[in-house]
Amino acid sequence: MEEKDDNYYIEKVIAGQTSYFSYVVEKYQDVVFSIALKVLKNREDAEEMAQESFVKAFKSLHTFQRKAKFSTWLYRITYNTCISETRKKKQYFASTDEVQISDEVEEMNFDGIPAENREKYIKAALAKLQEDEYTLVLLYYFEDQSVEDISKVTGLSGSNVKVKLYRARKKLYVILNEMLKEDVYSIL
């Protein structure tokens, strides 16, 4: 079946055909949940806040002006909902082990990562990123969002998004390199 544009479903929902909202939920639930999980750090809270984000989006669907992509608008709701929740619970971002980033981070040869372990490595490396860095990486690399869109989601300036993306990418390389070295040492 031909996949319709988000606006098609949004129009249907606004026109009163509420069940069309399930297409939107199915399409975006993984990204919304991943953002919530990274910020809130446990699955139960993340599911609750992801659900809350979708309900908020539904309730204010009539205010969505289509100037930005629907996904950008939805992720902004998600990000803000999760950040507000952490503030409500006075749960501050616990800094993950700070990774030292030197200026001379070597280029990464991804072929060095065994294909069967690639997903495991990447997930472990992503887990070590901080909440804001993870969200930027997720939106930029997974979701193909532009720097401008990410800026709208996170409320950061465009230049700040670029700097953070640059640092997050470097950090990912450092983490992956360290994991690979550890594995090589353990084999030897």
Partner 1 sequence: MKTFEQDKELKQLLKSVKLESPGVDFSAGVMNRVFAEQSALEKAKQQPLFGKGFWVIFSLFVALIIVVVLLSGEGSAVAKVPDFFPGADVDAALSGYRLLLHRLSNLPAGIAGILFGASLLILLENFLETRHHAVR
Look up residue 42 and give its DSSP letter.
S
d(CA 182, CA 175): 11
Q: How far is the CB of 62 from partner 1 (least distance, A)?
A: 7
Residue with smaller CB distance to partner 1, 50 or 82: 50
Instruction: Measure CA 49 to chain center.
Output: 14
Among 60, 62, 59, 39, residue whose Cα is nearest residue 49: 39
Name which of 39, 64, 56, 43 is nearest 154 in CA terms.
39
Q: Would you say 90 or 148 has its CB closer to partner 1?
A: 148
Minimum CB–partner distance for residue 84 and partner 1 (Å) = 18
Contacts to partner 1 by CB under 8 A? 18-19, 21-22, 25-26, 29-31, 33-34, 37, 43, 46-47, 50-51, 54-55, 58-59, 62, 105, 107-108, 110, 118-119, 122-123, 126, 137-138, 140-142, 162, 165-166, 169-170, 172
> For residues 14 and 89, what is the distance between their CA atoms, to the nearest angstrom?
34
Beta carbon of residue 131, minimum distance to partner 1 (angstroms, whole number): 14
CB closer to partner 1 out of 51 and 86: 51
**Residue at 148: amino acid letter:** E
Q: Considering the complex, what minimum distance in angstroms separates the CB of residue 161 from partner 1?
A: 10
